[in-house]
Structure formats: C-alpha cells, structure tokens
Amino acid sequence: MSKYGSGRGFAALALAAALSLGLGQGAARAEAPSAYPSRAVTIVVPFGPGGSADVYARTVAEQLGRETGKPFIVENRPGAGAVIGTQFVAKAAPDGYTLLMMSNTQTVNESLLRQKPYELMRDFVAVAPVNEAPLVLVVRSSLAPKTLPELVRQAKAAPGKLNYASSGTGTPYHMAGELFKNMAGVDIVHIPYKSSGGARTDVLGGQVDMMFDAVSTMGDLIATGKVRPLATTGKTRSSVLPNVPTMAEAGLPDYTATLWLGILAPKGTPQPIVDLLNQKIAKVVADPATQAIWARSGIEGMTMPPAAFTQYLNQDIAKWRRIVESAHIQVD
C-alpha cells in the first residue's frame, strides 16, 4: 500500500459509483471571512485510517484547533483510488468548513483517471502544502550493482531483464520507478503488488530486483544489510539516510519523486479564508517540535503561499502526465 494512499486495482470500477453519489452538496452561504472559523471544520482524508495522510491530517487538525479555538475534525472517505473523498470535497460548500488532505496520488490521477467526476485545478483552490518525504531506491542484497550508474549500465546491457516492485499501478512508488526509467533511458519491468508489504517481501527474498520505498520503512532493513540503497529521491539527502546520495547526486540531475501532502478547498472558497488557513498551517508546519518529530521519519515540512502552491500543483500534474503518457500507463 502506498504510504499516502492505496492502490487503484478497483478504481475504474468505483468511478461510476462516485459519479452517482452527489455527495456533500453544501448549500449554506459562506459567512463573513472575518468570523471564520465559528464552528467545527472537517478535513476529509480520501484514504483509509492509519496511513500517513490520516496521521498527518490529525496532527495538523489538532494544532489548528489550538490555533483557532475551534475543532478541526478528520473524516476518512477512502475508495476508488482517492476519488470518492476528493469528489465529496469538490461538491462541498465553498465556505472553508470542508477541506481536503491530498497527496501526489491526486496529481497522478489527473492523467491516469480521465473519467473521474472532477478536475483538480478546476474544482479546487490550493490552500497550503504540509510535508514531503523522499523515497529510497533499494536493490536486493545479491544484485551486483553497488551504485546507481552501475545499475543503469547493467539495465542498458540487458534490456527487460531487471525488474522492480511497487504497491500498485499509479502509486507514488510505481511512478518513481517510471520516472527513473524515463530519465535513465532503461527498460526495467514493473511488477505491481497489492501492497507495499508484498512488494517489500519479495525484494527481501530475492524474487524481485529492486523497488522504491519510504526511507522510514527501509531504514532498519538497510542498516542490517538486507537490502542495498543506491539513492534517495528528494532534492537533498534524507535525514534518515544521510550517507546515501540523492538520485541527482548519483547521476540523474533534476530527478525528484517525493511523497507529499497538502490541503485544498472547494473552488470559490473566499480568498481571505484561504490566506488565513495558509498562515495557520504554515505556523503548524514550522513548529520546531513538529519538525523534530517529523525529521526522525525523514519527513520535511513544506510551506508556500497559495499562489506558489497552485503553481506547484500545476507543475506536478504536468510532470506525471508526461510519464503516464510516455509509458502508456493504465489502471487495471
């Protein structure tokens, strides 16, 4: 399972259900922005309980409640590869009382799920990013390459012979692998699993050659020599794996593929409310105690104003559209 969401094995079948739900048809008028918030605010997580999106949504909600004096409540609405919960918020009243905790799952969905009942940049406004985490490319301990250039050379010498595992088609782990293949110009076979756990087990067992996985998950396995790290996927080295080079340092300039989270609101939400939420979330993210806790898992806080976050979303959508189209990726 993806760190920030779930696989999409049933996504295509569930889209029709999402289209017919008509969820969250909020008709209430937005109050004066200066009075916001005057009641509880709901943060919808379009993934199941216990995942990273859920955990960090609850962290943000708790601290926003302290900041504003009003409760922020997390509500899980998983299903259809994040479509059901996202659609619910798209149809909610644009008054600031229903927000979406989104991940790069949604930016990939923009090109992967063409029949979904919403468009991210048409039906939402960007509020604020929350955090991001790099992945790490690991290979089975018995595989010969010790560095990323050595892996690329082996892959080019024997196209289609190496393979990599992921938690499912279209997940961040899969997309990180496809981005690697595209930028390195290599042919490596994708083997999708129903969860990250299954993929990880087969890499550890030597049945699969490699995978991209969360640094927090792989840290202990790397330390004990059960897998070999070749590179991490962020712009800078991971606080969990400081001795492992980034993909850019290892020979693929401009490669980044992080897991990240952010907050969106329905289109039409008053700008003063968006700006207030952005400021409050940035304060939560910048809290030294929060940053110290996140750093232990390789998580870095993200802050930027709404306009910059809007640009970030557009760039991420375009980036993954290029990969989805060039690799001809389709959901199962």
Question: pLDDT over 70 for what percent of the chain?
Answer: 90
CA distances from 57 to 82, 258, 260 (A): 15, 18, 12
Could you give the count of Cα atoms lying within 13 Å of 262 in the half-sphere of its Cβ? 30
Please determine, for residue 11, whether its predicted confidence score (pLDDT) is greater than 80.
no
pLDDT digits (tens, 9 = 90+) for 92-128: 999 999 999 999 999 999 999 989 999 999 999 999 9
pLDDT digits (tens, 9 = 90+) for 21-62: 444 444 445 456 679 999 999 999 999 999 899 999 999 999
82: left (phi over 0), alpha (psi -120 to 50) or beta: left
- The pLDDT of 63-67, averaged and rounded, is 96
pLDDT of residue 23: 41
pLDDT of residue 32: 63
Report the alpha-carbon distance of residue 228 to residue 140 in Å, rounded: 6
- The pLDDT of 194-214, averaged and rounded, is 95
pTM of the model: 0.88
Residue 191 phi, psi (nearest 5): -120, 100
Report the alpha-carbon distance of residue 228 to residue 210 in Å, rounded: 9
Let me know: does 46 contact 82? Beta carbons within 8 Å: yes
Please determine, for residue 190, whether its predicted confidence score (pLDDT) is greater than 80.
yes
Please determine, for residue 6, whether its predicted confidence score (pLDDT) is greater than 80.
no
In the chain, beta strands by DSSP E: 41-45, 72-76, 98-103, 124-133, 135-140, 163-166, 189-192, 210-214, 227-232, 259-266, 300-301
Beta strands 135-140 and 210-214, pairing class:
antiparallel
Please determine, for residue 15, whether its predicted confidence score (pLDDT) is greater than 90.
no
Report the alpha-carbon distance of residue 61 to residue 132 in Å, rounded: 17
Mean pLDDT of the chain: 91
pLDDT of residue 29: 53
Could you give the count of Cα atoms lying within 13 Å of 319 in the half-sphere of its Cβ? 22
Please determine, for residue 305, whether its predicted confidence score (pLDDT) is greater than 70.
yes
- The pLDDT of 132-148, averaged and rounded, is 97
Report the alpha-carbon distance of residue 52 to residue 10 in Å, rounded: 21
